Amino acid sequence: MEKIYIFDTTLRDGEQSPGASMTVEQKLEAAKLLSHIGVDVIEAGFPISSPKQFEGVRRIAETVTGSTIAGLARALKKDIEKCFEALKPAPKKRIHTFIATSDIHMNYKLKKSKDEVLKLAVDAVRYAKSLTEEVEFSAEDATRSEWEFLRDIYAAVIEAGATIINVPDTVGYTIPEEFARLIGYLCKEVRGIEKAVISVHCHNDLGLATANTLEALKAGARQAEVSVNGIGERAGNASFEEIVMSLRTRQDCYGLNTTIKTEQIYHLSKTISSFTGMRVQPNKAIVGENAFAHESGIHQDGVIKHQMTYEIMTPQSIGRQHSALVLGRHSGKTGLKARLEELGYILKGKDFDKLYSKFTEIADKKKEVFDEDLIALIEEELNILPETFSLVYFSVITGNNVIPTATVKLKKQRTIMQEASTGDGPVDAVYKAIERITDTPVKLVSYSINAVTHGKDAMGGVTITVEKDKKIYRGYGVATDVIEASVHAFINAINRIHYNSTIELLEE
Ligand code: KIV
Ligand code: ZN
């Protein structure tokens, strides 16, 4: 099994994502995590580009000892000098210098000939090599460059001392088969290639960064440049977690491994997401919220019978606790039964069937049925909490220039009772009317509302706690209308009081 070196560029290319900049402290924390998880090389920043970048690289170089610390530099003496100055304290360091090699970049951006570019590259590598043992050279926009020119420039920089030659797909243009051919060509044609490691750095403009990187590794590259959650310029870079988990999960196919402690991946992903403010899409491979969530009845049934029916890796292998069986309109009886058992309810026969039919009604209205919904259902349907009072009707008049006024009708056994009240707001008005009808004055201790589904028809879930005679009672209600959800939550709490189901006894 051959080792693949993981070069993480979250703190350099990743930080170049629009709006993803991190503070120096955050970068330092992230670098510690990257080192802890087993990253071989951490590209800490581009020191000449700003004083903050310089400080970030410098602080990481002073503090993080487990991994090699790399800094980026254009093929210019002043860049390389600055880069080395920032890297100096690192026990293991690498200068990463680059210049563009495609015609479009050389003609329009650099306005230089091939010979001039080759000379700049060689001079840069030679100078970097006089400062550090490890020097990486990147031919920017390699995948749109002439292959013969790449062959010549890589051979020349290896001769000048480069120990790693990087082949960037800067604009995410290549495709797996073509990229593998290019790597094969370089392995065969570059003079002195046995003295250097071939690295690849793929961008995701066509969504092919992971596939391109993996094909290149198959073809002979031995360093993968990646970023956590795939962040980076434009559509981002090849994602750290996808490359590492692909190599691990399909060892049978690649025969390659990394020394990454994969159980720390989820935590790392969460940390980078919070530091950069870049949310991970729910269906993102490996680290998205839904990556181990199953909703359809057939899938839930399969996963309950054997996890590997619908999972190719375990959630624990990336540091997640367990898979999630999301209860929604596609869920079946097996999934519901399993979730109820997790909540401590063993329901059988008619009780279970009754609950299941009620569950399907709710699931049709809501995107996801949460534990609170199930508990409320069980209490209502199975008479665990007898409904002393139930809602018949309510109305509220409110506005910016009127005093909120509510009318509420409740039923207690066969009696219908009605009251009206004003309040500081619509919820206060209905709560006062309910207190009057039920003759149960309480103190509202907490009130929280959350959208349990999204969009215009979102369901609001209201959770309240109230205090009565020094005891605390909880109430929960769900409806598309937040006032109605509030009414249900309050009646739920009042019924609890009447049933005397104390949740917590307050200290005298
Ligand atoms: O995408 C790119 O070409 C780069 C280089 C600096 C390696 O980020
Ligand atoms: Zn890049």
Q: Where are the domains of the chain?
A: 2-276, 293-382, 390-507
pLDDT at 506 over 50: no
Distance from Cα 66 to the centre of ligand 2, integer Å: 24
DSSP 108: I
Residues with CB under 6 A from ligand 1: 13, 98, 138, 140, 166, 168, 170, 201, 203
Q: What is the pLDDT of residue 350?
A: 87
Helices marked H in 139-237 — which ranges?
147-160, 176-189, 209-218
Q: Which of 171, 47, 163 is nearest to 105 (CA)?
A: 171
Q: Which of 214, 232, 210 is nearest to 222 (CA)?
A: 214
The region of weakest confidence among 73-77, 195-199, 225-229, 502-506 is 502-506
Q: What is the pLDDT of residue 480?
A: 80
Q: Once rounded to an integer, what is the mean pLDDT over residues 164-171? A: 98
> Where does 390-507 sit in CATH, by number?
3.30.160.270
pLDDT at 354 over 80: yes
Higher pLDDT pick, 317 / 454: 317
The ligand whose atoms approach the alpha carbon of 98 most closely is 1
Q: What is the pLDDT of residue 451?
A: 67
pLDDT at 38 over 70: yes
Higher pLDDT pick, 177 / 327: 177
Q: What is the pLDDT of residue 20?
A: 86
410-467, pLDDT tens digit by residue?
999 889 999 999 999 999 999 999 999 999 999 999 998 876 555 666 667 788 889 9
Do β-strands 68-74 and 2-3 pair in parallel, antiparallel, or remain unpaired? unpaired
Query: Between vectors from CA 321 to CA 315 and to CA 326, what angle results, nearest 5°?
Result: 80
Q: What is the dihedral of CA 48, 51, 55, 61, to 10 degrees?
A: 10
Q: What is the pLDDT of residue 361?
A: 85
Q: What is the pLDDT of residue 339?
A: 86
Q: To test ligand 1's pocket by mutation, which of 13, 101, 233 has the most ligand atoms within 8 angstroms of CB?
A: 13
Counting atoms of ligand 1 from 1, which one is nearest the CA of 9? 8
Q: Once rounded to an integer, what is the mean pLDDT over residues 202-222? A: 98
pLDDT at 289 over 50: yes
Q: Once rounded to an integer, what is the mean pLDDT over residues 274-300? A: 92
Q: State the average pLDDT for the chain.
A: 92
The region of weakest confidence among 39-53, 139-153, 315-329, 342-356 is 342-356
Distance from Cα 140 to the centre of ligand 2, integer Å: 8
Distance from Cα 357 to the centre of ligand 1, integer Å: 57
- The pTM for the full model equals 0.76
467-489, pLDDT tens digit by residue?
998 888 878 787 888 899 999 99
pLDDT at 279 over 70: yes
The region of weakest confidence among 355-364, 388-397, 423-432 is 355-364
Q: Which of 360, 358, 351 is nearest to 332 (CA)?
A: 360
The region of weakest confidence among 58-72, 121-135, 283-297, 378-392 is 378-392
Helices marked H in 322-398 — which ranges?
333-342, 349-365, 371-381
Q: Once rounded to an integer, what is the mean pLDDT over residues 99-118? A: 98
Question: What is the Cα–Cα distance from 214 to 180, expressed in whole angstroms?
Answer: 9
CA distances from 224 to 239, 422, 498 (A): 10, 67, 65
> Where does 2-276 sit in CATH, by number?
3.20.20.70
Higher pLDDT pick, 124 / 505: 124
CA distances from 86 to 49, 50, 73, 124, 162 (A): 12, 12, 11, 17, 20
> At 493, which helix (H) or strand (E)?
helix 482-499
Q: What is the pLDDT of residue 343?
A: 73
Distance from Cα 260 to the centre of ligand 2, integer Å: 22
